[in-house]
Amino acid sequence: MDAVSNGGIMKRCLLALLALPCFDAAAAVIRCDNCNEPTYQAQAQSRGAGSAGIDTHYVYDLPQGRVRKYEIMRSCEEGRVCYNETTLLPIEPEIELQVLELASYWHSTGGTMKGYVTLTTNGDTQNLSAYDVAGPGAARTQLTNWLNSATQIASLQNTLPALVGTVHQIAVTVASLWNDSMGKTRITIVFSDGSKIQVEWEAINNTITFVDGTAEDKFGNKIPMTWDQLNGAQFDYTAEGPNGTAGNRMRNHIYTMTGVPVTYGRWRCWAESSRVVCKPY
């Protein structure tokens, strides 16, 4: 079974889990990494029996690839003394499989739950640079439209590691329950001049978010868009030599931003009172 079809099946399993009749507003799907059995149970007990007096909670542990299912029932004795009874229930095989898949991805990404891919611009975006898209504007909209094209979406899906497709079908669905950063893929976009920028792609909603501060030129020098980003920044073009294309573009960019001329091959800038100073280092 390939990753795409497997992901579709597993997404349906999770949606079925979340739609179980026993779930009311108090029901919970709880993440408890590196926990032991008493802690799993305590986590479920802490969510209570719900307004109906009986509820079912699932507790997940990604590092250990475990999932537990508990029924919490409120019982009352004469004199209205009430307490909750906790019962460990058999877990559905499809839910256990889903957690094992997520656990495998958790380990393969070092716990980040994020995939990383690189794309190279082409077509209408071939002549763009990270300078053009480092801030809001028409060029960024153009690049976003290119990323959202059917060709690029297919390219992303084919480039992602085997488990990423599965995780995008599951983890983003439960993001509000677990972690709002889970299931996103970090994409590095490389332009023809060697500059690059990073965006995050969320597969379920197909949303593209530019990651501020990640635009850099071919030599790894950050491309500042504000004085705050320029303050303390260092630039090194010694590998390119004097009057190189990349160095000249950065010097022109800083001059346009601040009015400060730079003639060095290696320099740093900082804010001083109400002005920017750039000197060699």
User: How do the pLDDT tens digits run along the chain, 281 residues long?
Assistant: 222 233 333 333 343 444 433 333 446 889 899 999 999 999 999 999 988 899 999 999 999 999 999 999 999 887 778 889 999 999 988 888 878 877 887 888 888 777 788 889 988 898 999 999 999 999 999 999 998 886 776 666 665 554 444 444 444 444 444 444 456 788 899 999 999 999 988 765 678 899 999 999 999 999 999 999 999 999 999 999 888 999 999 999 999 999 999 999 999 999 888 899 999 99
In a 10 Å sphere around its CB, with 0-12 CB exposed, 13-18 middle and 19+ buried, how is residue 167 labelled? buried
**pLDDT value of residue 193:** 95
pLDDT value at position 114?
A: 74
Residues near 12 by Cβ (< 8 Å), separated by ≥ 6? none
Measured CA to CA in angstroms, residue 115 lies from 167, 199, 259 at distances of: 10, 12, 40
d(CA 155, CA 184): 16
Which two structure tokens, joined as six digits, stand for 138?
């028409």
Type of residue numbered 65: G
> What local confidence, expressed as pLDDT, does residue 45 receive?
94
Structural element, H or E, at residue 43: helix 37-46
Longest dimension (CA), the chain: 89
Query: Tokens 């690049």 map to which residue?
Result: 143
Its sign, for the CA torsion 202, 203, 208, 211, is positive
| Residues 105/202/143/236 CA torsion (nearest 10 deg) | -50
pLDDT of residue 110: 85
pLDDT at 183: 62
Q: In angstroms, how far is CA 217 from the centroid of its own chain?
A: 23
Helix (H, G, I), strand (E, B) or coil at 5: helix
Helix (H) or strand (E) holding 46: helix 37-46
Q: What confidence score (pLDDT) does residue 226 get?
A: 92
- In 3D space, the residue among 206, 145, 176, 190 whose CA is nearest the CA of residue 198 turns out to be 190
CA–CA separation, 63 vs 112, rounded Å?
12
Write out the two tokens for 45: 């007990």
Side by side, which strands form the sheet with 54-61? 29-31, 54-61, 66-77, 81-89
Alpha-helical segments (H) within the chain? 3-18, 37-46, 93-108, 130-133, 138-147, 150-159, 162-170, 227-230, 245-258
Cα angle 140, 146, 152 (rounded to 5 degrees) comes to 135
Residue 38 tokens read as 């008493």
Look-up: residue for tokens 């153009």? 142
